[in-house]
Every structure is written in C-alpha cells, then in structure tokens.
C-alpha cells in the first residue's frame, strides 16, 4: 500500500524536522549570552541580570568606554557604559564608584527614580567617590548626559 518512496520521504521529513528543532535549540542557547551592542555582562556567573549598557566584572576594562564603575563590598564592579538609568545589578552595600567621565551620576532611592537622589560629578576623571549611608544601597543609578557640575 505504501511504496518505498513514501517511506523515504517520511523519514526525510522527520529528519528535517529533527534537524530544524536541533538548530533552533542551539540558536536559543547561543542567544542566552547575547546582548544588545551596548550591553555586556562578563565575569561571575552570579551576575545573572543582563542590563543594556552595564558590564559586571572584577574591574572595568581599560578602553571599554566605561563612564562610571560602581564597586561593592564583595569586590565586584558594575561598569556603566552609556548614559541612562540602570537597576543596580551587583549586591549592596556599594562601597565606592569611579567616575571615568564628566557626566553627572545620580543615585536614586527607588528603582523608578522616586525618593531621595544624590548627585556626583567630577571635572577631572577618573575620580573615586567613596559611598556612605543611604548611597550604599540605591534603587537605581542614572548616568546623565549633562556634564555640568551638580
């Protein structure tokens, strides 16, 4: 009732479907680490949050274009590569930040930028700013395109 060509086409179809599924699986796995061009997340696998414009590593790489490096008590650093508002992806308490540009940096109490806000600025980068009190656990960090003093 069914000829040899029918069986071969059925096997070919099944193999093609399996191959397509395998390729989609591999593409999905390779996409897990992919981020937009402005985003980088490297270093510890514990840094599971991928945020565009942010890189976490042991230190901000020279020549990476980092605007601000925010350091925590465990020795991790969050490298902010672009202007914008970012959730904090390294564990508090934050201990200090290094301003690698003259952009204003704001620490806000809450993720939605509400609550208190503290502004930091330098005219001679790189400059280290030690963080104390409420600044050690902000809800977000904003790097402004504004380069005027706070």
> How confident is the model at residue 133, as a pLDDT?
97
* Residue 98 in tokens: 């290094």
Q: What span, in angstroms and rounded, lies between the C-alpha atoms of 139 and 94?
A: 11
> How confident is the model at residue 95, as a pLDDT?
95
Q: Around Cβ 136, how many Cβ atoms within 10 Å?
A: 16
What secondary structure does DSSP assign to the chain, as a single string? ---HHHHHHHHHHHHHHHHHHHHHHHHHHHHHS---TT----S-TT-----TTEEEESSPPTTS--SEEEEETTS-EEEE-SSEEEE--SPSPEEEEEE-SSS-EEEESSTTS-S-EEEE--SSSSEEEE--GGGGS-SEEEE-S--S--
> How confident is the model at residue 3, as a pLDDT?
55
Q: What span, in angstroms and rounded, lies between the C-alpha atoms of 129 and 49?
A: 25
According to DSSP, the β-strands at 84-87 and 140-143 are antiparallel
Q: Please say if the pLDDT value at position 90 is more than 80.
A: yes
Q: What is the per-residue pLDDT across 33-58, written as a single tens digit (0 to 9) for each?
A: 333 333 332 223 233 344 445 555 55
Q: What span, in angstroms and rounded, lies between the C-alpha atoms of 79 and 119?
A: 18
The stretch 93-99 carries a mean pLDDT of 95
* Residue 124 in tokens: 């001679």
Q: What span, in angstroms and rounded, lies between the C-alpha atoms of 40 and 115?
A: 29
> How confident is the model at residue 23, as a pLDDT?
43
């Amino acid at each position: 009732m069914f000829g040899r060509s029918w069986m071969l086409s059925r096997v070919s179809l099944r193999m093609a479907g399996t191959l397509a599924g395998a390729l989609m699986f591999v593409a999905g796995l390779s996409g897990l680490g992919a981020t937009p061009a402005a985003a980088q997340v490297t270093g510890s696998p514990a840094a599971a949050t991928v945020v565009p414009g942010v890189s976490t590593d042991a230190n901000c790489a020279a020549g990476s274009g980092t605007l601000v490096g925010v350091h925590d008590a465990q020795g991790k650093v969050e490298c902010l590569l672009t202007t914008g508002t970012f959730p904090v992806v390294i564990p508090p308490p934050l201990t200090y930040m290094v301003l690698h540009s003259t952009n204003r940096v704001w620490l806000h109490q809450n993720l939605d930028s509400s609550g208190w806000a503290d502004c930091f600025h330098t005219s001679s980068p790189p400059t280290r700013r030690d963080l104390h009190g409420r600044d050690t656990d902000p809800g977000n960090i904003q790097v402004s395109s504004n380069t005027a003093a706070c």
